[in-house]
Amino acid sequence: MERGKSQALYERAVRVIPGGVNSPVRAFRAVGGNPPFIERAHGSRLVDADGNEYIDYVLSWGPMILGHTHPAVQQAVHAAVDNGTSYGAPTELEVRLAEKITAAAPSIEVVRLVSSGTEAVMSALRLARGFTGRDRIVKFDGCYHGHSDGLLSKAGSGLATLGIPDSPGVPEAFAALTLSVPFNDLEAVEQTFRSGGDSIAAVVVEPVAGNMGCVPPAPGFLEGLSRITREYGALLVFDEVMTGFRVAYGGAQQLYGITPDLTTLGKVVGGGFPLAAYGGRRDIMEKIAPAGPVYQAGTLSGNPVAVSAGLAHLEILAQGAAYTQLEVAGARLEAGLRGVMAGAGLPCTFNRVGSMFTGFFSDAPVRNYEEARRSDATRFGAYFRSMLAHGVYLAPSQFEAGFLSTAHSDDDIDHTIEAAARAAATL
Ligand code: KE4
């Protein structure tokens, strides 16, 4: 596979961009080699600067659920751009998207649009503290909620990928306000609340974890979080930046029948543009300025081009057929990959919820971060490099989720399974 142009671009990039990338996981540090520089994408495919084509299971880390350059999304964006790209003033488009979001997830009575998942979660937790008058937050080891200061302790995603336990630059005073406990461990949550529940503003959770690799909630886990937070007067915040409009049109809260107090959204809702959101109970959200005293703002919040892309995504996803198609494709991919690893005698635990998934090189269940860390990340690196060489672009970390889109064909999946068989023979 020719890689000369990507390599030359990488050597230029590292001189002017930290690590040559604008987000750490893109650097391939955990899997070895330097990343291909992508030039264009279409449907299920990426094409790099050297003309190599890949079946894309990263999909911009989740947003591109309809595949790249979906005609309806492209048309909506082109039309929006022709009307101007940013006004810094309210538009009908934002009202329409807010109405779609609140219709999709009944727990979201009022919603504020922002520009990134980090901003959505940071704002939701400031609101939870402002609403409850309490300071502490409970999160879960291996869950990642963006890079705001208080949330980088024992986080997943890039910190897990790079093996960074926490980040320098976060004042101890901030970190001390975040308590992190094992995912799927209700007893640990109970114990944390018993020892100080009246100072806890909120529990923030990825209802299906994606940032330690895909780890579904254990039966009763989410219900337990709802009970405990209610009992102690804390808020339950579902970080659905990854799962929102991904695992179901109404997100994980629809799939598991749980009503959080606040929800954050991102990725799919932005249709591939910098758009995210946070929302929830009206009595809580109306504490947000200018309706209330909790301040949050953003120059490009509700940007008309981004909102147009999000609306185009949701108009198609609301029809429902996409989720049936994604479940069938996910099951086909899972069965194929499980068969390959079993046939090669390789330990493999495969976690999947709909069209988000992770194959762990582990012979034990993966139900939390500690168990995820037992996976053979070195073997994953070799697998990743072999798959890439055979035109399959996986998430470049054992501790990330992969995604399918409605543009992935049966042939794409069959090619992926064949590539996995070739890779498995070398592991
Ligand atoms: P952003 O600020 O990257 O838009 O969203 C942060 C975020 C918040 N919550 C959840 C559940 C998330 O998964 C994310 C971002 N996810 C990572 C990938 N696991 C984005 C990829 C990256 O960091 O480059």
As for ligand 1, residues whose beta carbon falls within 6 Å of it are: 23, 25, 61, 116-118, 121, 144-146, 157-158, 206, 210-211, 239, 241-242, 266, 276, 400
DSSP state of 211: B
Q: Cα of 320 to ligand 1 centre, how many Å?
A: 25
Shared domain for 146 and 266, answered yes or no, is yes
Q: Supply 207's token pair.
A: 């209802």
For residue 154, name the pLDDT band (cuts at 50, 70, 90): confident
Band (303; pLDDT cuts 50, 70, 90) = very high
Final residue of a domain: which of 295, 317, 339? 317
User: Would the pLDDT of 73 be above 90?
Assistant: yes
Is 139 in the same domain as 278? Answer: yes
Q: What is the pTM of this model?
A: 0.98
Determine whether 162 is exposed, middle or buried from the number of CB atoms within 10 Å of its CB (0-12, 13-18, 19+).
middle
Token code pair at residue 119: 């901003």
| Token representation of residue 259 | 């009503």
| One domain, residues 327 and 188 | no
Confidence band of 377 (pLDDT split at 50, 70, 90): very high
Question: Do residues 51 and 61 make contact, with C-beta atoms less than 8 angstroms apart?
Answer: no
Does 99 lie in the same domain as 54?
no
What is the structure's pLDDT at 273? 98
Active site residue 5: no
Using 50, 70 and 90 to split pLDDT, how confident is the model at 284?
very high
**Are residues 285 and 174 part of one domain?**
yes
Instruction: Clarify whether residues 230 and 330 are in a common domain.
Output: no
Q: What is the mean pLDDT of residues 324-335?
A: 98
Contact 93, 87 (CB under 8 A): no
The predicted-structure confidence for 176-188, as pLDDT tens digits, reads as follows 999 999 999 999 9
H helices within 236-281, ranges in order?
251-256
Strands 136-140, 178-181: pairing kind: parallel
Q: Residue 157: its pLDDT value, please?
A: 86
Strand ranges in 248-354 using DSSP code E only, listed in sequence order: 262-265, 276-280, 349-353
Question: Do 296 and 406 have their domain in common?
Answer: no
Q: Is residue 165's pLDDT more than 80?
A: no
Catalytic residue among 56, 141, 239, 261: 239
Are 342 and 282 members of one domain? no
49: nearest Cα among 2, 11, 16: 2
Q: What angle do CA 153, 156, 162 make, to 5 degrees?
A: 95
| Residues 387 and 238 grouped into a single domain | no
CATH number at residue 25: 3.90.1150.10
pLDDT in the model for residue 161: 78
Query: What is the C-alpha separation between 275 and 375, in angstroms, rounded?
Result: 33
Q: Is 267 annotated in the active site?
A: yes
Distance CA 225, CA 252 (A): 14
323 in active site: no
Q: Residue 208's pLDDT is what? A: 98
Helix (H) or strand (E) holding 424: helix 410-424
Domain that includes residue 8, residue range: 4-69+320-424
Q: Is the CB of residue 206 less than 8 Å from the CB of residue 239?
A: yes
Q: Which residues are paired to 63 by β-bridges? A: none
Average pLDDT for residues 12-32, to the nearest whole number? 97
In the chain, the largest separation of any two C-alpha atoms, in whole Å, equals 61
- What is the total count of domains within the chain? 2
Confidence of residue 247 (pLDDT cuts 50, 70, 90): very high
Choose one of 317, 337, 358: the last residue of a domain. Answer: 317
In tens, the pLDDT along 112-125 reads 999 999 999 999 99
Phi, psi of 160 (to 5 degrees): -65, -45
User: What CA–CA distances, in Å, run from 90 to 39, 113, 288, 424?
Assistant: 34, 11, 16, 53
Given the residues 267, 369, 383, 393, the one annotated as active site: 267
Distance CA 183, CA 225 (A): 11
Distance between Cα 232 and ligand 1 center (Å) = 29
First-to-last alpha carbon distance for the chain, in angstroms, is 20
Torsion region of 264: left, alpha or beta (phi above 0 gives left; psi -120 to 50 gives alpha): beta
H helix intervals, 133-250: 158-162, 172-175, 186-194, 221-232
Mean pLDDT of 365-371: 98
Averaged confidence pLDDT in the chain: 97
Identify whether residues 86 and 203 lie together within a single domain. yes
Residue type, 82: D
Taking CA atoms only, the protein residue closest to ligand 1 atom 21 is 61
Confirm if 270 and 234 have CB atoms less than 8 A apart.
no
Both 420 and 383 in one domain: the answer is yes
Separation between Cα atoms, residue 121 and residue 147, nearest integer Å: 10
Say if residue 162's pLDDT is above 90: no
DSSP single-letter state for residue 182: -
Q: Under the phi-then-psi rule, with left for phi > 0, alpha for psi from -120 to 50, and beta for the rest, what region is 267?
A: left
Task: Indicate the residue among 317, 332, 363 that finishes a domain.
Answer: 317
* pLDDT over threshold 90, residue 166: no
Which single residue is written with the structure tokens 């046939």? 343
Our mutation pick for probing the ligand 1 site, out of 121, 144, 149, 238, counting the most ligand atoms within 8 A of Cβ, is: 144
Any idea how long the chain is? 427
Which mutation among 25, 118, 140, 241 tests ligand 1's pocket best, with the greatest number of atoms within 8 A of CB? Answer: 241
CATH code: domain of residue 286 = 3.40.640.10
Taking the C-alpha atoms of residue 381 and residue 395, their distance in angstroms, rounded to an integer, is 11
**Distance in angstroms (rounded) separating the CA atoms of residues 189 and 134:** 17
